[in-house]
Structure 1
């Protein structure tokens, strides 16, 4: 098993952005402490090459990121003030998702402790996302003819609008997003399959909707790899999510996804996505549970 982690996450942002990012330091620490993983499972990716980024993102947008040329309005839309360190963070994340994809193709499963930057479009960033790591990785695998078909299973509480727009006219990447109907982004793009959820949905109805969709999706798409965006902002404790999914329900969601993919022998690359519960322990515990469920199904 291969798990991408990112030392660039240590103090990369101003203090007002520190809380959401601290989970990226705490997740590997907890996984190691609990014996879920070993040190040899962790690796630090190199930055992605420019040519790979340009398979997904426009040259104009990439050069603005690279050269620190974003306008004030563009920075506001993203939610971060630009900096070389922030750009480095994003291109390392993107390479991490490429690396775990290649590992998953060979061994069945790979994790990125970060990733899931699904609000980034080809030519712009928004929603705290600069580069779309899933899109960068999927386009790289397609370009290298490592795969013919990918499936994105995006279960973050927010719609994967950037991913949907990037792959809107690409039949080789099927996008599925199950998200809060009344949550950000307020203008939704069209995924290949969208399931908008009402505010306050609980474990039972949520899991039934997912179960009804998974088997049909797998049989219809027949993917060579799945990108699983396992956001834990669906939790009832999340300050932004608006849903009522318990920690047990979030665990059952992960178990359902991994079990279905394992039954069909489909490799899966897992990225973490969002999580904004006021107590960081709730966020870290839920993300670590995703690792447990994946390892239970696929092993090391």
Structure 2
């Protein structure tokens, strides 16, 4: 049952638009056109495809799986929402263009007025963050939810980096812990090519959160301090291919969910594991990514655990098509339903 103004311990908290009721006719797929970053071509200075989220939706519409009517429209996270996790000091630092330039790795941003940077860069990221929080609530209500954006796993409460300015994964979990009765444990399954050091730092001493992280240990961020939070750590070598990768994902995903049966799974489904990705350094095929997502959803479904998926990193133009194809495959396999519920086979 959703609590409106008090958390499960009876403590009052701020009113948030992000936990507003969503019509049952909507699929638990969250998106807003404001996710996409277009800013005088400056976005092209970063390898990230800052329009990939809109392309995913375009492909899903082409296949007639989603429409403007059945999508959930994301809302921008307010300062009050962000302060559930972030420090005031950190949010104040984002008022400096040089700080945002450093976090997003787009140096020319430091030369622009912060009002522009806030509107054209930070607002899209805040809207995606709001989308992840909204999708968390939807996952509990419907059994699954997908935020077509989000997955900013390098950002912690007081530090951004790696194109991640807001800690949306931490925020989604904290909102659920605070506001939804019966949600007191969570498992993060982070399968982006990079170590998820942001949420790891945030949950370092929190025994309610079990973190599994499968990543290329040779690349950014190499955060040894944050690694102490990982309960299942799978470090991959350069060029890891489908067979070894999928075997490890399946083994450790099953192991993690057998070790702790959480109330919710947050699945960080980065596509930067794709062969040829300039930053990921792994060699997974498009079919391997689709199979990976299916393995995770199947493990969750078999145990009846709600799952929230965010799309995270992916630095090639073709990743949008792969994300769309993966979502369509989840539907084809009966792991997500067009009626907004999981439907179809739940066995392997």
* Superposition TM-score, scaled by structure 1 size: 0.92
Q: Deviations over 1:170-220 (max 9, x none)?
A: 112222110111111133421232211011111111111111111121121
More helix by share: 1
User: 2:137 is matched with which residue: 86, 99, 102?
Assistant: 102
How far has the Cα of 1:155 moved from its partner?
A: 0.4
Mean Cα displacement is larger for which, 12-21 or 207-216?
A: 12-21
| Other structure's SS at 1:121 match | coil
Deviation sequence 1:30-82 (CA, Å, 0-9, x none) = 101012323333132222232321121111112333xx136x35632442435
Provide the rounded CA distance (Å) in 1 between the counterparts of 2:37 and 2:289: 29
Q: Distance in 2 between matches of 1:255 and 1:35?
A: 21
| Inter-partner Cα distance in structure 1 for 2:268 and 2:306 | 14
Q: Structure 1's 226 and 141: CA in aligned 2 closer, same or farther, altered over 3 A?
A: same
**1:144 corresponds to 2:179:** yes
What SS does structure 2 have at the residue aligned with 1:227?
Answer: strand
The answer on 1:115 being equivalent to 2:150 is yes
* Separation of aligned partners in 2, 1:53 and 1:23: 24
Match of 1:87 in 2: 122
2: CA distance, partners of 1:41 / 1:171: 37
Contact 2:65-2:328 at 8 Å conserved across structures: yes
Residue 283 (structure 1) aligned with residue 319 (structure 2)? yes
Aligned match of 2:78? 49
Aligned partner of 2:215 among 172, 179, 182:
179
Q: Is the 1:3–1:100 contact (alpha carbons within 8 Å) kept by the matching residues of 2? A: yes
* Contact 2:55 2:321 (8 Å CA) reproduced: no
Alignment match, 2:346: none
Cα contact 1:164–1:192 (8 A) shared by 2: no
Match of 1:62 in 2: 91
After alignment, is 72-81 or 89-98 more displaced?
72-81
Please give the alpha-carbon distance, in whole angstroms, between the structure 2 residues aligned to 1:243 and 1:157: 7
Shift of 1:241: 1.6
CA contact (8 A) 2:271 2:289 kept: yes
1:254 paired to 2:293 = yes
- Once residues 10 and 298 of structure 1 are traced to their aligned partners in structure 2, the CA distance between those partners, rounded to angstroms, is 25
In the alignment, is residue 127 of structure 1 matched against residue 153 of structure 2?
Answer: no
Shift of 1:151: 0.9
Q: TM-score, normalised by structure 2?
A: 0.80
Distance 1:187 1:27, change over 3 A: same
Distance 2:53 2:264 in 1: 25
Task: Indicate the SS of the match to 1:115.
Answer: coil
Whole-angstrom CA distance in 2 between matches of 1:38 and 1:169: 42
| 1:11 Cα deviation after fit | 4.5
Measured after TM superposition, the shift of residue 10 of structure 1 is: 4.2
Residues 77 and 53 (structure 1 numbering): CA distance in 2 closer, same or farther, change over 3 Å? closer
Structure 2 matches for 1:225-236, cutoff 5 A? Answer: 225-236=264-275
| Contact kept in structure 2, 1:230 and 1:290, CA below 8 Å | no
CA distance, structure 2, for counterparts of residue 9 and residue 271 of structure 1: 13
CA distance in 1, matches of 2:281, 2:164: 21
RMSD: 1.8
Aligned residues between the structures: 294
Which residue of 1 is the match for residue 34 of structure 2? 8
Q: Which has the larger Rg?
A: 2
SS at match of 2:172: helix
* Distance in 1 between residues matched to 2:96 and 2:122, nearest whole Å: 11
Greater Cα shift, 1-10 or 199-208: 1-10
Question: 2:154, 2:198 within 8 Å by CA — same for their partners in 1?
Answer: yes
- Structure 1, residues 7-29: CA drift from partner, whole Å, max 9, x if none? 22344434131461121111101
